[in-house]
Structure 1
Amino acid sequence: MTTLAPSADTARAHGGPDSDPSSQESGAGGTGNSHDEKKPHGKMLHPVVMTIWVVLAAVALTYLIDAGQFERKDKLVVPGTYHVVPKTQSVATLFAPAVTQSTPQQAAPASLVSAFVAVPNGLIKNAPLIFMVMFVGGMFGVMRKTGVVDAGIDRLLQLTAGNVYMLAPLLMVLIGLGSTLLGFISEYLVIIPMVMVLARRLGLSNLFAVGLVAIAAKVGYIASVTNPLSLAVAQPIVGVPLFSGIAMRIGVFVVFLTLGILYLLVHVRRSGYRRATAQASLQEHPQVKLSGRHKATLVVLAIAAAMLVIGTRELRWGNVELSAFYVLISIVTAAVGRLDSRSAADAFVDGMKGMILAGLLIGLAASVELILQNSLVLDTLIDHFTRLARGQSAVWVANGLMAVQMVLDVFIPSVSGKAAVSMPIIGPIAQLSGVSGQTSVLAFVLGGGLTNLVTPTSGMLLAYLATARVGFGQWLKFILPLFVVLLLLSGGALALAVWTGY
């Protein structure tokens, strides 16, 4: 996340040379205590290296797993049509000098050439998302240059007296509602740098910042109360009305988000945060008043937030439309904030530079799915996993289907894509086992949402961590206890759904 010759404002926004000394921690972003500052971060695995290892593991799977295919109709899998496709088994294929090609009659495992070519192809596949992420960074760069971010956060801290136990729950509820009701996830990338500034003011780490955003956003996806990305594909496939069964999902959202908030606040207390110390630190900073220019900029951002909701919900904006919207907001923000054209352009470019790593990780994550798909082993994995759930009691089948979704989410991070591939198979299995379509949808959203908390193939999770400069290993150590608790509660929720005829 290091930029070349950044401006002073941008350097402070992204933890550059001019930022607080407490934030100079390459892996974690800074915790504000001397113990963390002395950690040997050079031993931490770089996220790009980690993702490349995952890509190579996917190449190995193409040699270990049989090739096969389902027939598809309108991009949906046709249940019961899986068949094995003969595959070349020679290890020499690994060193083939060209990209290996699979056909419905003859499959081929991935070669090293195929693996490397999958990297740019993954970037191309996710290009709209990658550009949207980079434009988010550019927009934040312009916002930070106007001074409204620092002034607004200082004002917020003054109004709440720096009470993180009030701020964190409020922000997490708002983020969680946007995620679970509207399907927001990538849109929250722009929030992470702001929360990083907020955390720095309070003497907290970047891990706190990314935890606040990621836990709330991911819990929203786990519950998916009215998340159109999850439900619009999954529910019609199993024959239940769109957005029906909302009561159970609301219960999941309330319980899980409450636990997520409490978990983060316990982490804050254990990290050595003391409210009195934070307040004393804040009093050392000069009292900031929002100028007329700042207030006008905040009005623009409020209108932009409203348009974001309308655009994604009513106008069906995708990543391309969102990218264009962020460029427009950057221009309007620069004009209202009275930035000259050169300063605004420099700030936008510096902000984009800060998102290059996040964009690269999103593309690398997509390459894993491409490798498995091109070698015709993805359908085999789906067929094997779904077979494991057959013939058991309804409660076990419901939990087994959730486990299937958790595993599939590692290989197919796309929510809608996973629904199109798995739900036509899972639906009939669930019905034959006495599991309702509504419960099978619940298993789908729970499984996918849980895995997205920890999987290294989730491009958006990696983008969150890259934006906050938090190492994946550090994130796992932090989130695993909460993940285990939510996993057990999800199993209980599915059991309750079966017993109550949900």
Structure 2
Amino acid sequence: MKEDTLHASPTSAESVKLAPVAAPVIGRRWALDPVMMFAALAIAVLLTWVLPSGQYERRGGSETALVVPGTYRAIPKLVDASALAPQAQTATQAAPLSPAAIFTAVPAGLVKLANLIFMVLLGGMLGVFRSTGAFDAGIERLLGLTGGRVMVLTPIVMIILSAGSTFLGMITEYLIVIPLVIAIAERLGMSRLFGFTLLTLAAKVGYLASVTNPLALLIAQPIVGVPVFSGALVRFTLWAIFLLLAIGFVLRMEPRPRKVAPLVSRPLSTSHFIIIAIVCGALAILGYGSTVLGWRDSQFATLYVVTALCVGLAARMPAREGAHAFVEGMNSMMLAALLLGMARGVEIVLREGRILDTIIAFASDQVAHLAPVVVAPIIMGLEMVLTLLIPSTSAKAALSIPILGPIGASVGVSGQTTVLAFILGNGLVNMFSPTSGMLLAFLAAGGIPYGRWFRLILPLFALYTVIATAAVMLAVMLHY
């Protein structure tokens, strides 16, 4: 994969042209990521033929409705290998999915995530922003004022990003920022992978600890009967440990930056200042809308379109030029949107084959009579396995916590510790899960092949897993 090049001038900040916002041209290694998702879909379809079907009763009709513990029942499955065409599913009889589901699940996943996908694509407003030259000039101004000190900028940026993730549950909001962070890293003489890791690892560590992350805690904690956001001190301590290790990991990636053009700190032009103010204001509105007003994907998409329009007007950009820049920005997010739909397709296959409930029922039976200090890390391990099947935090909480919570309580594992095991297992695997649509979208936006990310993050994942296992075991012993 060929990385973008830098073009800088030491005499004028406005003449600087950073790496374009679009992701690099898709090469052979990067093109393997959609192939990998098709392989995951094929494995999911195969499992519907191998595993028995069954289901729990639920208190509602949605995928995130809470299951009723003790209500699992097996469903007879008609397995006719001679008939590979799609077979009808009924309330009393299941059937394995046809191989055609490998392909039909992709558009089904795209439909399920339509709002999120449109939000991702409309993040093309960054193409308009970059085409004005305001971002390039602003970065030169910022780096000139700070002296471009990587050792100073990296911890500050990672703490801010991770705080938004661990306290507010922000993750999708960071997707469109990835090309900008990468551009900053490259201007500092660092690689594209350095910039991507800086942002992604900070966000993932925040989710791993979930100090007050509402997406994880608002569902999980009430199920086990503990106050929402309680036990935050332990999670905050873990967040500090994980984040400190992440910062050290990123700083050790590239101790010697490449040589770049001299940093120049010149005042911004009036138009550039106004454009940067518009984008910063939009990001502030995005954070406020997400955490206070309850905005979701459709509102975010609307905000992106309005921001692009305001930026174009402030730059006095011709309509045709603005439209072209917006479409170019959308093009850089196209693969990310496709991978989101494909990842959701894996979950759809497992649900339609009615084997998700079977997996959780079998796993819960295996831990019912073990010692609590053993059960807690096993619960974390089960959540790690489930995260490969159900990347959605809320859906996984609704399926697993009503079952594992009472089982844990019966052997002496508190509800608070069960929730801790849940969020740690969820966060650990989502650091590298090939079925995590959001991770794949991050990789696509950054132009980073999955295999390259997996090899990089694996040692840190192993260290985090050891720490998390010790943490849940210690939580049991301290009656957390």
Give TM-score scaled by structure 1 length.
Answer: 0.89
What is residue 14 of structure 1 aligned with on the other side? 22
Alignment-mate amino acid for residue 464 of structure 2: L
The secondary structure found in structure 2 opposite 1:467 is helix
**Shift of the alpha carbon at 1:304?**
1.7
Gaps of 5+ in 2: 3-15
**Shift of the alpha carbon at 1:186?**
0.9
Q: Superposed, which structure 2 residues align to 1:186-335 within 5 Å? A: 186-269=172-255, 273-274=256-257, 278=259, 281-283=260-262, 288-335=266-313
Alignment-mate amino acid for residue 13 of structure 1: V
Contact in 2 for aligned 1:151/1:290 (Cα 8 Å): yes
What is residue 388 of structure 1 aligned with on the other side? 366
Contact in 2 for aligned 1:88/1:108 (Cα 8 Å): yes
**Shift of the alpha carbon at 1:251?**
0.5
In structure 2, relative to structure 1, the CA distance for the partners of 1:328 and 1:100 (3 Å cut) is: farther
**Shift of the alpha carbon at 1:104?**
2.3
**Shift of the alpha carbon at 1:45?**
5.8
Contact in 2 for aligned 1:453/1:483 (Cα 8 Å): yes
CA distance in 2, matches of 1:387, 1:492: 24
The secondary structure found in structure 2 opposite 1:76 is coil
- Alignment of 1:370 with 2:348, yes or no, is yes
Cα deviations across residues 224-260 of structure 1 (Å, max 9, x unaligned)?
1111111111111111111111101100111101101
Contact in 1 for aligned 2:23/2:444 (Cα 8 Å): no
In structure 2, relative to structure 1, the CA distance for the partners of 1:80 and 1:256 (3 Å cut) is: same
The secondary structure found in structure 2 opposite 1:12 is coil
What is residue 53 of structure 2 aligned with on the other side? 67
Cα deviations across residues 143-175 of structure 1 (Å, max 9, x unaligned)?
101212111211121122222111111111111
Cα deviations across residues 182-228 of structure 1 (Å, max 9, x unaligned)?
11111101211011111221232221121111110011111111111
Alignment-mate amino acid for residue 130 of structure 1: I
Alignment-mate amino acid for residue 233 of structure 1: I
Q: Superposed, which structure 2 residues align to 1:174-189 within 5 Å? A: 174-189=160-175
Q: Which moved more, 1:453-462 or 1:320-329?
A: 320-329
The secondary structure found in structure 2 opposite 1:131 is helix
- Alignment of 1:85 with 2:93, yes or no, is no
Gaps of 5+ in 1: 3-7, 17-25, 28-40
Contact in 2 for aligned 1:10/1:351 (Cα 8 Å): no
Contact in 1 for aligned 2:19/2:183 (Cα 8 Å): no
What is residue 107 of structure 1 aligned with on the other side? 94
**Shift of the alpha carbon at 1:267?**
1.1
CA distance in 2, matches of 1:308, 1:408: 31
**Shift of the alpha carbon at 1:381?**
1.0
- Alignment of 1:130 with 2:117, yes or no, is yes
**Shift of the alpha carbon at 1:389?**
2.5
What is residue 53 of structure 1 aligned with on the other side? 39
What is residue 398 of structure 2 aligned with on the other side? 420
What is residue 455 of structure 2 aligned with on the other side? 477
CA distance in 2, matches of 1:213, 1:287: 25
Cα deviations across residues 423-477 of structure 1 (Å, max 9, x unaligned)?
1101101111111111111111100010101110000100111111111111111
Q: Which moved more, 1:316-325 or 1:199-208?
A: 199-208
In structure 2, relative to structure 1, the CA distance for the partners of 1:397 and 1:438 (3 Å cut) is: same
Cα deviations across residues 291-340 of structure 1 (Å, max 9, x unaligned)?
11121122222322221222111111111111111111111222223322
Contact in 2 for aligned 1:77/1:420 (Cα 8 Å): yes
- Alignment of 1:347 with 2:333, yes or no, is no
What is residue 108 of structure 2 aligned with on the other side? 121
In structure 2, relative to structure 1, the CA distance for the partners of 1:77 and 1:339 (3 Å cut) is: same
What is residue 10 of structure 2 aligned with on the other side? none
Match of 2:421 among 443, 465, 472: 443
Aligned residues: 463
In structure 2, relative to structure 1, the CA distance for the partners of 1:142 and 1:377 (3 Å cut) is: same
Contact in 1 for aligned 2:185/2:194 (Cα 8 Å): yes
- Alignment of 1:461 with 2:451, yes or no, is no
Contact in 2 for aligned 1:223/1:250 (Cα 8 Å): yes
In structure 2, relative to structure 1, the CA distance for the partners of 1:78 and 1:47 (3 Å cut) is: same
The secondary structure found in structure 1 opposite 2:82 is helix
- Alignment of 1:157 with 2:143, yes or no, is yes
Contact in 1 for aligned 2:379/2:404 (Cα 8 Å): yes
CA distance in 2, matches of 1:190, 1:303: 15
What is residue 21 of structure 1 aligned with on the other side? none
Query: Following TM superposition, where does structure 1 have runs of at least 4 consecutive aligned residues deviating by more than 3 angstroms?
Result: 8-11, 41-45, 285-289
The secondary structure found in structure 1 opposite 2:294 is coil
Give aligned-pair identity as a percent.
44
CA distance in 2, matches of 1:198, 1:470: 16
Alignment-mate amino acid for residue 497 of structure 1: A
Alignment-mate amino acid for residue 427 of structure 2: G
Contact in 2 for aligned 1:10/1:347 (Cα 8 Å): no
Match of 2:375 among 391, 397, 400: 397
Contact in 1 for aligned 2:30/2:448 (Cα 8 Å): no
Cα deviations across residues 251-279 of structure 1 (Å, max 9, x unaligned)?
0111101101101111122xxx24xx54x
Alignment-mate amino acid for residue 69 of structure 1: Q
Alignment-mate amino acid for residue 282 of structure 1: A
